[in-house]
Structure 1
């Protein structure tokens, strides 16, 4: 997780970041707190997706799901 932390910290901003874990048993949301406020960009999403080997980053803007990478 140090690489993920490094990416998040390199895109500091004012938007709260969260992890949502999804398993067969259900979903869990983890708020990353004020130490991980980010400036969400397609570049940030691409770097995180590269680390996780999938297309897992999603942006929620005004309650709507937005495509992270365009």
Structure 2
């Protein structure tokens, strides 16, 4: 698993694909859809994905 890119990209390839109850469910889904995304997919626990501010993206304090 790689860390999310905090670039704030709004393009279709940088969107949330789902929210899952367990890491196992997220992993299984990412394996199923990864071939559709040339840059791969990532999954992360809730709160570990970069937050966005009106001016720029930023990491949540606990992830710095």
TM-score by length of 2: 0.32
Give the TM-score normalised by the residue count of structure 1: 0.30
More helix by share: 1
- Which structure has more relative contact order (CA 8 Å, sep 6+)? It is 2
Higher strand share goes to which structure? Answer: 1
